[in-house]
Amino acid sequence: MQFRDLQKQYVILKEDIDAAIIKVTTDCNFISGSQVKELENELAEYVGVKHCITCANGTDALSLALMAWNIGKGDAVFVPDFTFFASAEVVSFHGAVPIFVDVDKDTYNISVESLENAIVKVINEGKLEPKVIIAVDLFGQPADYDKITEIAKKYNLLVLEDGAQGFGGRIGERKVCSFGDISTTSFFPAKPLGCYGDGGAIFTQDDNIAKLLRSLCVHGKGIDKYDNVRIGLNSRLDTIQAAILKVKLHAFKEYELSDVNRVASWYNELINDGIKIPYIADGYYSSWAQYTIQLKNKQERDGLHKYLQEKAIPSMIYYQKPMHEQKAFVEVKCLVNLSVTMKTCDCVLSLPIHPYMSKDDTERVVKCIMEYMKVK
């Protein structure tokens, strides 16, 4: 059993993916080929925004957004404490200070109460200038953008949506990567929409920001790549990856999203015995980057993780260590209580989930979980 079965996906999409790759290699148009622009147009249309700018990876996407806003020394950027390292890494990389914020106990997305508390504390301290909220769409479910946007407007902050895990999710009919002043995603292979290497994208409604981002992605280019008007990055999506993503995007829209939600519903129906299953807020739709259950404590979680390994069932722990305990952030001061994050790190376990998973597979996983819960 695979945690996320990319091999099975490839077998099903093989004919179209192979043809797409062969066209790129035949044309020898490896950098900035027509498929890149075509993909950007398709992604922008799907998300429902004016501009999509692809780049080399999801971390660069976040970094480029902060560059476009000129975020740097003396600035405070608010980041959930329970997330992947990149969400906060880019803040420090640009010389700003990440301010870690607790998460909601049910959705694991940024807690709006903790967020506002942290903003007020930064303002009262007077040492840093609050600039940006980075909201992460964790495990596939969008963050609470109604309340986040309200807080951002109240304190004159920008919202950067990290949709790396949430692509395909939505609130009502509005899709992930349309909620931020700038939004980003990752095409890392295991993401809801993944390529066969690294890749990322940035989304915005702002014409001027889009123009600036296109410059920053290619060494700060002006008229062309030999006219350099600012310091930028070398961060482009390869044509081969764009060609692969065009094929995968079609499958993603046509059936993968609905199929992975069906798998999640099977888990929801089968899991019991006091295990906390994922909570999806009313009106929200998840793309299920992960299906994450919560056990009572670390001992119970670690025991189940080991038991599933013994039964040849993959499971993953996202994340064992909160951001504020990472050695890289040892000098970052914690301003708010982060107790929900601490408990979450000790208790969560992610189970195999993907669009090509059968009901028999989910029943096998749940059977092993129930066996463990009876004998633990």
**CA 20 – CA 196 distance, rounded (Å):** 13
Residue pointed to by tokens 């009313």:
282
Q: What residues does 234 pair with on adjacent strands? A: 218
What is the crossing angle of helices 34-47 and 239-251, to 10°? 40
Instruction: Please give the domain boundaries of the chain with CATH numbers for all domains.
Output: 6-248 (3.40.640.10), 256-375 (3.90.1150.10)
**CA 220 – CA 117 distance, rounded (Å):** 37
**What's phi and psi for 100, nearest 5 deg?**
-80, 135
The two three-digit tokens of residue 143, written as one number: 């963050």
Q: Is there a contact between 77 and 128 (Cβ–Cβ < 8 Å)?
A: no
The two three-digit tokens of residue 303, written as one number: 């025991």
Tens of pLDDT, residue by residue, the chain (376 residues): 999 999 999 999 999 999 999 999 999 999 999 999 999 999 999 999 999 999 999 999 999 999 999 999 999 999 999 999 999 999 999 999 999 999 999 999 999 999 999 999 999 999 999 999 999 999 999 999 999 999 999 999 999 999 999 999 999 999 999 999 999 999 999 999 999 999 999 999 999 999 999 999 999 999 988 999 999 999 999 999 999 999 999 999 999 999 999 999 999 999 987 899 999 999 999 999 999 999 999 999 999 999 999 999 999 999 999 999 999 999 999 999 999 999 999 999 999 999 999 999 999 999 999 999 987 6
Total residue count of the chain as it appears in this document: 376
pLDDT (0 to 100) of residue 278: 98
**Which of 161, 172, 105, 164 minimizes the C-alpha distance to 140?**
164
**Which of 50, 27, 36, 39 minimizes the C-alpha distance to 235?**
36
Q: Is there a contact between 323 and 329 (Cβ–Cβ < 8 Å)?
A: yes
Degrees to nearest 5, angle at CA 162 with 105 and 64: 150
Biggest CA-to-CA distance, the chain: 68
**What's phi and psi for 172, nearest 5 deg?**
60, -125
pLDDT (0 to 100) of residue 376: 67
**CA 366 – CA 171 distance, rounded (Å):** 29
Instruction: Give pTM, 2 decimals.
Output: 0.97
Q: Is there a contact between 175 and 168 (Cβ–Cβ < 8 Å)?
A: yes
- Measured CA to CA in angstroms, residue 16 lies from 13, 132, 200, 258, 277 at distances of 6, 41, 22, 21, 36
pLDDT (0 to 100) of residue 297: 96
